A = this chain, B = another copy of it.
Amino acid sequence: MKDILGGKGANLAEMTRLGLPVPQGFTIGAKACIEYSNKKTMGEGLPEEIKLRMQELEAVTGKKFGDAKNPLLVSVRSGAAVSMPGMMDTVLNLGLNETTVEGLAALTNDKRFAYDCYRRFIQMFSNVVLRFDISLFEHVLEATKQQAGMRFDNELSPEHLQSIVKKYKALVLEKTGKAFPSDPVEQLNLSVGAVFESWDNPRAIVYRRVNRIRDDLGTAVSIQAMVFGNMGSDSATGVLFTRDPNTGEKVIYGEYLTNAQGEDVVAGTRTPKHFSEMAAEYPAIHKQITELCALLENHYRDMQDIEFTMERGKLYVLQTRSGKRGARAAVKIAVDLVHEGKIGKDKALLIVEPEQLERLMHRGVDPKAKVTVLAKGLPASPGAATGQVVFDADTAEEASEKVKVILVRPETSPDDMHGIVKAQGVLTSRGGMTCHAAIVARHMGKPCVVGCEALRIDLDKRTMTIAGKTFKEGAIISIDGATGRVIEGPVPLVDPTIGGDFEELLGWADEVKRLGVQANADTPTDAQKARDLGATGIGLCRTEHMFMQKERLPVVQEMILATTVEERKAALDKLLPMQQSDFVGILKAMHGYSVTIRTLDPPLHEFLPNVEELTDEVKELRKAGPSKELTEKEDLLAKTRQLHESNPMMGFRGTRLGVVYPEIYEMQVRAILGATVELIKQGYNDIKPEIMIPLVGIAEELRLMKELVLKVEKEIKEQTGISVEYKFGTMIEVPRGALTADEIAVYAEFFSFGTNDLTQMTYGFSRDDAEGKFLKDYVDRKVIKYNPFQVLDPIGVGKLVRMAVELGRKTRPDLKIGICGEHGGDPESIHFCHDANLTYVSCSAFRVPVARLAAAQAALGKKYQD
């Protein structure tokens, strides 16, 4: 049903069946949108169909569309199958013109109301349908208010509004050369088309990309008889969540505005009242809503986000949908719903988005730190962020290429999506907890503070004033989304504490998932963190970072510059104890779990200085005449030049180093097995090192490396009398490795897919180059759906993975197979790994909870869109 009718349409039908007070209306399915999108015009027969349905609506409402006496007004809203709050367009009060507005005034005996509706209609229609620059309208509105000495729109008199309407229409005529359309049928058809078109507006496209929603779904359009929240003080409009969307607490959390229409709440132009205040102001309605919330939650078995309108004391529900929620709330609600018996554990695991779990681990402001609090706003989305102040979304997008930014706006609109995506956090001076900025930031897990009324923004001067201080664009501030604090300058951060709900949910995940979840970690601290977050092993411990450490780099360079095997071995002998102590630390931290240590991978030139800088140094030294330093630098330069590669990604690295300079890998293997012996001597009885050779594409490479490992193992045994248990395996990261996995598995006890490199070579995309040069174009032009470095390509790269699994297990049925590329922490890629029968995934420590949940969802058969 959802696919055909769109989210809103389906919900309206269902609410009507539940007996809820829903305004009359009908829905045009999303198929018509897709047709419109392809042909850039309405499908044949659609206007006729709309006309017929409008006649039915006239019959049930007893009003007539365009009638001078008793006019039917309608709203035209989008309703996509997947909720995209605020991303698409809506037109309210449709059907008004010079005649019907008078009819409405007479009928309601409220001229102010009628012209307020007309003013709003012209504004929305011009914006949505005519693509008119409505800031021109705002100038008119502001000027009128200032002249009248008024602050809020709802203080304007009927005459003010009438004059505003006149000015609006004159502006449209002047700027577009066409009169504002007065025929309601024309208004309606144009609006339906515009809502269809809004499916492809830039902010909707960005939203879909960020949230990985397919582009070809299209939106349904709902046409409903208007109900009015702006009919005076016994009218109101509001938005609420059946639970707190930020904490997950089981209290109705909402806001309303008296004498207003829906967009006033969402836009955040007036700061609304909290739902609890309604208990005193409209006790009956408050009670009705409270009951209705329970009813809807029971029905949908999830927290609901409800829009309602009270028209002259009568309640209407405009829409309900599963509410977007912050990460903390998502977990608490899921767990609570289980405890309340509303859903089972499996369902709980499925309704939390894995990505949200990482956001839960956002760091907060160190409570012990001394900070200068400039002001406090509403804590709309938790986490802390520091960055340079920017005042619009375009600047945010541009500046974010180089620095971290905080987007500071009076309020945000859906047009700011691209800036919010790039900003570290969002700060607004207006709006409540349910305003656009709050909803979007919460959903993205970005820190957000809204409604910070002490903040004055001057968009012309590009400054903001707060607590008596003026900050220029580019000044550094911090925001604390957990408390609503706005802080001057940067702040020290601390790790989050994660609640019991989190542990409980992940415990359920561990019960159902089949994939193991390990972590990529290079230090004992990271290993401990990963273990704390539930990792049951280290899937990738890189050794090159150990080589990069400041005090070691000169020794590493000594090794690289060696001209004989003896010199090289001498340098390696110095590195051996350092490496061994690294391994002791990490193996100890993971006692009881396997630690997969990868031998040296990057090309050696990565350990040498930059050629250009070195050339300059040598030039300088030459001026001073011969010296020992000059000779040394010249040697270094020569070697650096010699090691230069035109395509280092496919150059002299990985196992190739081990084949040509076996002594390097020998040292590393000695350090691994030596560290294990050291720990065994200290009484650790369950140390599980695994030696992993990178970049193997030829079985013979691995055979040679195995020979080398066996030699070292034998030596260690002879020297210490201790037999070390270990596993030997390889990364599968060049296509040939996957294609010949049956031959390679002869020597490997485990495979670990290095999907970063595998993706690079399978596509022939150098990640460094592609992401800067053409990958964005590829996504924009829909050549590819996602950046394949973020989501594992299931078609091409995936085929290699499946092939390697099959071939490898043909040779060695008990082959342990994992993945340690960045994809190991991406939920969709984890699903792939589950389907491809991998043994485990390995990802960065902070993504371990994400992976645990995604692995559970995969085991539960959750479907992705593609």
Residues of A within 8 A of B (CB): 645-652, 656, 659-660, 695, 697-698, 700-701, 704, 733-736, 739-740, 743, 757, 760-766, 768-770, 773-774, 777-778, 781-784, 793, 795-797, 799-800
In the complex, the answer to whether B736 meets A778 with C-beta atoms within 8 Å is no
User: What residues of B have a CB within 8 angstroms of the CB of A648 in the complex?
Assistant: 646-647, 766, 769
Cα–Cα, bound, A765→B765 (Å): 14
Q: Which of B652, B733, B764 contacts A773 (CB 8 A)?
A: B652
Cα–Cα, bound, A800→B803 (Å): 12
In the complex, the answer to whether B774 meets A652 with C-beta atoms within 8 Å is yes
Q: Which of B761, B770, B781 contacts A735 (CB 8 A)?
A: B761
Interface centre among A656, A736, A778 (most CB of B within 10 A): A736
Would you give 15 A-B contacts (Cβ < 8 Å), ordered by A? A646-B648, A646-B766, A650-B763, A659-B777, A659-B778, A659-B783, A697-B762, A698-B763, A698-B783, A700-B783, A700-B784, A704-B783, A735-B796, A736-B763, A740-B795
In the complex, the answer to whether B736 meets A766 with C-beta atoms within 8 Å is no
User: What residues of B have a CB within 8 angstroms of the CB of A646 in the complex?
Assistant: 648-649, 766, 768-769
Cα–Cα, bound, A662→B53 (Å): 46
Given A697-B762, A734-B763, A735-B735, 13 other A-B residues pairs in contact with their CB atoms under 8 A: A645-B768, A647-B766, A649-B766, A650-B760, A650-B765, A651-B766, A659-B778, A695-B764, A700-B782, A700-B784, A734-B764, A736-B764, A739-B795
In the complex, the answer to whether A650 meets B764 with C-beta atoms within 8 Å is yes
User: What residues of B have a CB within 8 angstroms of the CB of A740 in the complex?
Assistant: 795-796, 799
User: A704's closest neighbor in chain B, by CB?
Assistant: B783
In the complex, the answer to whether A701 meets B649 with C-beta atoms within 8 Å is no
Cα–Cα, bound, A698→B777 (Å): 14
Chain multiplicity (copies):
2
In the complex, the answer to whether B736 meets A762 with C-beta atoms within 8 Å is yes
Q: Which of B697, B777, B793 contacts A764 (CB 8 A)?
A: B697
User: A656's closest neighbor in chain B, by CB?
Assistant: B774
In the complex, the answer to whether B649 meets A650 with C-beta atoms within 8 Å is yes
In the complex, the answer to whether A660 meets B777 with C-beta atoms within 8 Å is yes
In the complex, the answer to whether A770 meets B651 with C-beta atoms within 8 Å is yes
User: What residues of B have a CB within 8 angstroms of the CB of A735 in the complex?
Assistant: 735, 761-762, 764, 796, 800
User: What residues of B have a CB within 8 angstroms of the CB of A659 in the complex?
Assistant: 774, 777-778, 781, 783
Tell me the minimal C-beta distance from A447 to chain B in angstroms: 34
Closest 10 interchain pairs by CB?
A: A647-B766, A734-B764, A736-B796, A650-B766, A651-B769, A652-B773, A645-B769, A735-B735, A647-B649, A647-B647
User: What residues of B have a CB within 8 angstroms of the CB of A656 in the complex?
Assistant: 773-774, 778
Cα–Cα, bound, A128→B245 (Å): 89
User: What residues of B have a CB within 8 angstroms of the CB of A698 in the complex?
Assistant: 763, 783-784
Tell me the minimal C-beta distance from A375 to chain B in angstroms: 42
In the complex, the answer to whether B757 meets A734 with C-beta atoms within 8 Å is no
User: What residues of B have a CB within 8 angstroms of the CB of A781 in the complex?
Assistant: 659, 704
User: A657's closest neighbor in chain B, by CB?
Assistant: B774
Cα–Cα, bound, A688→B87 (Å): 52
User: What residues of B have a CB within 8 angstroms of the CB of A700 in the complex?
Assistant: 782-784
Q: Which of B649, B774, B777, B800 contacts A739 (CB 8 A)?
A: B800
User: A799's closest neighbor in chain B, by CB?
Assistant: B739
Cα–Cα, bound, A697→B652 (Å): 25
User: What residues of B have a CB within 8 angstroms of the CB of A757 in the complex?
Assistant: 764
In the complex, the answer to whether B769 meets A652 with C-beta atoms within 8 Å is yes
Tell me the minimal C-beta distance from A294 to chain B in angstroms: 49
Cα–Cα, bound, A757→B761 (Å): 10
Cα–Cα, bound, A568→B257 (Å): 55
Tell me the minimal C-beta distance from A783 to chain B in angstroms: 5
Q: A651-B770, A774-B659 are in contact. Are A762 and B739 (CB under 8 A)?
A: yes
User: What residues of B have a CB within 8 angstroms of the CB of A645 in the complex?
Assistant: 766, 768-769, 773
User: What residues of B have a CB within 8 angstroms of the CB of A800 in the complex?
Assistant: 735, 739
Q: A700-B783, A736-B797, A739-B800 are in contact. Are A660 and B762 (CB under 8 A)?
A: no
Tell me the minimal C-beta distance from A775 to chain B in angstroms: 9
In the complex, the answer to whether B647 meets A650 with C-beta atoms within 8 Å is yes
Tell me the minimal C-beta distance from A744 to chain B in angstroms: 11
User: What residues of B have a CB within 8 angstroms of the CB of A766 in the complex?
Assistant: 645-651
User: What residues of B have a CB within 8 angstroms of the CB of A647 in the complex?
Assistant: 647-650, 766, 768-769
In the complex, the answer to whether B650 meets A650 with C-beta atoms within 8 Å is yes
User: What residues of B have a CB within 8 angstroms of the CB of A793 in the complex?
Assistant: 736
Cα–Cα, bound, A781→B656 (Å): 12
In the complex, the answer to whether A769 meets B734 with C-beta atoms within 8 Å is no
Cα–Cα, bound, A647→B765 (Å): 9
User: What residues of B have a CB within 8 angstroms of the CB of A734 in the complex?
Assistant: 762-764
Cα–Cα, bound, A714→B796 (Å): 34
User: What residues of B have a CB within 8 angstroms of the CB of A763 in the complex?
Assistant: 650, 697-698, 734, 736
Cα–Cα, bound, A704→B778 (Å): 11
Tell me the minimal C-beta distance from A123 to chain B in angstroms: 36
Tell me the minimal C-beta distance from A157 to chain B in angstroms: 52
Cα–Cα, bound, A648→B649 (Å): 10
In the complex, the answer to whether A739 meets B650 with C-beta atoms within 8 Å is no
User: A800's closest neighbor in chain B, by CB?
Assistant: B739
